[in-house]
Structure 1
Amino acid sequence: MCGIVGLFLKDPKLESELGAMLASMLCVMTDRGPDSAGFAVYGAGGKDKVKLSLRAAKGYDFEALATGLSLPADGIPALSIRGTHAVVEVPAAHEAQVRAFLAERHPEVAVVGSGTRMEIFKEVGLPASVAETFGLATMRGTHGIGHTRMATESAVTTAGAHPFSTGTDQCLVHNGSLSNHNALRRALKREGVAIETENDSEVAAGYLTWRMKQGASLGEALEAGLNDLDGFFTFVVGTENGFGVLRDPVACKPAVMAETDQYVAFGSEYRALVDLPGIAKAKVFEPEPATVYFWERAQ
């Protein structure tokens, strides 16, 4: 049993409040999973730049790391440190070079995700503590997703916390359990998809990335997952420009959505949505089984 939330803003006037709204939604879901929590926020991004979300041990010297990443033409990359995580922004053309440098010289630093706009933070602990540690309430952006975990298939670790990201500006949170994740993990690894944990949710994220690299849209990848992913699941997926939801054909996990002229919101339970502005007049509905829902912002 886990709690998942998502918020997609239609109204730019609410972008400064995204983090506060998402934090409130996430903390309400605490009793669905107190083991660990995490979130992804899609904020501003620089042209031809990529943000790497990094994780290391408490007290790690990220400033020294950034200095080591300095490139002659670009200088020391922009750096934002939040607790055990940091976001470093580097030229997109040099992402592979930076990743290789980190893997060789700093194997103690994990790359949690990457993208033009996406930043990911996750940690062991209650959602309120995790949100406070990373300053979620102060973050702004267009959309975000969050997860609070009840560990069932793997250990309670930061690496096993959600969201999981296996593609650029793409991440996933999951409520449920997959029965064929071990076989699928092996198949994806043979296809070159990096799966680093025992968590079945990372396999689901990797599967979507693999499908999209074959040319499928996110919607097509989610549709294919209805046949290839065995088990029960509710997915909330973030992309650079959008926010998607999918439930398995049985839809045994609870889910509720609300839509107004200002936002679209998802919660494992309605109580995650009750403090959102205008919720009393929102269109509130239960997403249908085996149906892809997706909202996207204008380019």
Structure 2
Amino acid sequence: MCGIVGLFLKNRALEPQLGGMTATMLGTMCDRGPDSAGFAIYGSGDDGHIKITVRASAPDYDFAKLAEAVSHEIESHIDCEPHGNHAVMTVVEDKAANAEEALQRLGGEEIELFGRGTRMEIFKDIGRPNKVADRFHLDQMSGSHAVGHTRMATESAVNAAGAHPFSTGVDQCLVHNGSLSNYNALRRELQRKGMTFQTKNDTEVASVYLTWRMQQGASLGEALESSLEDLDGFYTFVVGTENGFGVLRDPIACKPAVLAETDDYVAFGSEYRALAALPGIENAKVWEPEPATVYFWERS
């Protein structure tokens, strides 16, 4: 079943409230996906640094020690900001690839890398969505936009790695409601093309597919349009990027989806009740996104 929420703020004065608004929306979707949840927040950042979000299997993992070891390994300082069993590691951009390799090697099986980007931070874990949001203090986070997901696992295990969002590109992530029927065949095809995977989740296949298309020169919008031909099944995708977010439903559009827009924000929910507590929702333009149509909102 699963639930998706997304919020893009047009009014910059609302940025300190982004986390609180997103947490309320995510909590409303608990019964659509009670086994795990996750969210991506697009907050502050600068072009010279990359933030890498990592998760540890142990709740008391010593992230500072790992950051120190990686800093020594790559001969460049890493800032470490712990968030419970997650941490955001910030490194200069030209050392980011080295840092990712060192984090995976030195962290071993105790560490998972969930995403990287100039502004994007990803947090996801098992448990009821409202509890996951509380665990990472989502209500205290600020930024320009966010996407979130509540998962009811169907095709892969209930674990943090299988939770959404999935990120396989810089500052880009994907959440998905629905089911893909040809994802195993598509995974094998993408593996033959040199792409790699971390889970058995069908959503990761969709995320890797978009990344692969963009590596071939397509824009994100073009990659999403190509997915209408290459991905079989029923689905709603919400994609986060550094500057905004987009929505795509499959050609049948049997999964529920609602968009609302005001002068202050654009909001997405799998159901209207996810949007009902937003300020000014009574004056919003509310509609159901059309099938097989790519929608995007970005900051200029």
| TM-score normalised by structure 2 residue count | 0.97
Secondary structure of the 2:60 match is coil
Give the aligned length: 298
140, 147, 150: which one aligns with 2:149: 147
User: How far apart, in 2, do the equivalents of 1:213 and 1:295 lie?
Assistant: 22
| Contact 1:166-1:194 at 8 Å conserved across structures | no
CA shift, 1:221, in A, is: 0.5
User: How far apart, in 2, do the equivalents of 1:74 and 1:241 lie?
Assistant: 31
In structure 1, the residue matched to 2:281 is 279
1:85-137 CA-partner distances (Å, limit 9, x unpaired): 10010011001111221232222211100000000000000011100111100
Aligned-residue Cα RMSD (Å) equals 1.3
| Contact 2:104-2:113 at 8 Å conserved across structures | no
CA shift, 1:155, in A, is: 1.1
User: How far apart, in 2, do the equivalents of 1:62 and 1:105 lie?
Assistant: 11
Gaps of 5+ in 2: none
Please list, as runs of the form range in 1=range in 2, the aligned pairs for 1:224-235 lying within 5 A after superposition.
224-235=226-237
Secondary structure of the 1:226 match is helix
253, 258, 261: which one aligns with 2:260: 258
Residues 187 and 70 of structure 1: CA distance in aligned 2, closer, same or farther (over 3 Å)? same
In structure 2, the residue matched to 1:90 is 91
Secondary structure of the 2:253 match is coil
Amino acid at match of 2:170: T
In structure 2, the residue matched to 1:7 is 7
Secondary structure of the 1:69 match is helix
Secondary structure of the 1:106 match is helix
1:162-205 CA-partner distances (Å, limit 9, x unpaired): 00001110000000000000011111112222211010001000
| Contact 2:258-2:287 at 8 Å conserved across structures | yes
In structure 1, the residue matched to 2:222 is 220
1:126-157 CA-partner distances (Å, limit 9, x unpaired): 01110011110000000000000011111111
User: How far apart, in 1, do the equivalents of 2:76 and 2:279 lie?
Assistant: 43
User: How far apart, in 2, do the equivalents of 1:73 and 1:62 lie?
Assistant: 16
User: How far apart, in 2, do the equivalents of 1:21 and 1:222 lie?
Assistant: 27
| Contact 1:236-1:245 at 8 Å conserved across structures | yes
In structure 2, the residue matched to 1:124 is 126
| Contact 2:76-2:95 at 8 Å conserved across structures | no
In structure 2, the residue matched to 1:35 is 35
Gaps of 5+ in 1: none
| Contact 2:66-2:106 at 8 Å conserved across structures | no
CA shift, 1:73, in A, is: 10
| Contact 1:49-1:116 at 8 Å conserved across structures | yes
| Contact 1:40-1:145 at 8 Å conserved across structures | yes
| Contact 2:70-2:106 at 8 Å conserved across structures | no
Percent of aligned pairs with the same residue?
64
Please list, as runs of the form range in 1=range in 2, the aligned pairs for 1:192-231 lying within 5 A after superposition.
192-231=194-233
User: How far apart, in 1, do the equivalents of 2:235 and 2:296 lie?
Assistant: 17
User: How far apart, in 2, do the equivalents of 1:253 and 1:21 lie?
Assistant: 23
User: How far apart, in 2, do the equivalents of 1:232 and 1:72 lie?
Assistant: 45
In structure 2, the residue matched to 1:67 is 68
User: How far apart, in 2, do the equivalents of 1:286 and 1:73 lie?
Assistant: 49
CA shift, 1:61, in A, is: 0.5
Mean Cα deviation higher: 44-53 or 231-240: 44-53
Moved over 4 A (4+): 71-75
Amino acid at match of 1:217: S
User: How far apart, in 2, do the equivalents of 1:72 and 1:285 lie?
Assistant: 52
| TM-score normalised by structure 1 residue count | 0.97
Amino acid at match of 2:281: I
Amino acid at match of 2:97: A
Amino acid at match of 2:130: A
User: How far apart, in 2, do the equivalents of 1:163 and 1:144 lie?
Assistant: 11
CA shift, 1:80, in A, is: 1.2
User: How far apart, in 2, do the equivalents of 1:31 and 1:96 lie?
Assistant: 38
Secondary structure of the 1:271 match is helix
| Contact 2:237-2:248 at 8 Å conserved across structures | yes
Secondary structure of the 2:234 match is strand
In structure 2, the residue matched to 1:22 is 22
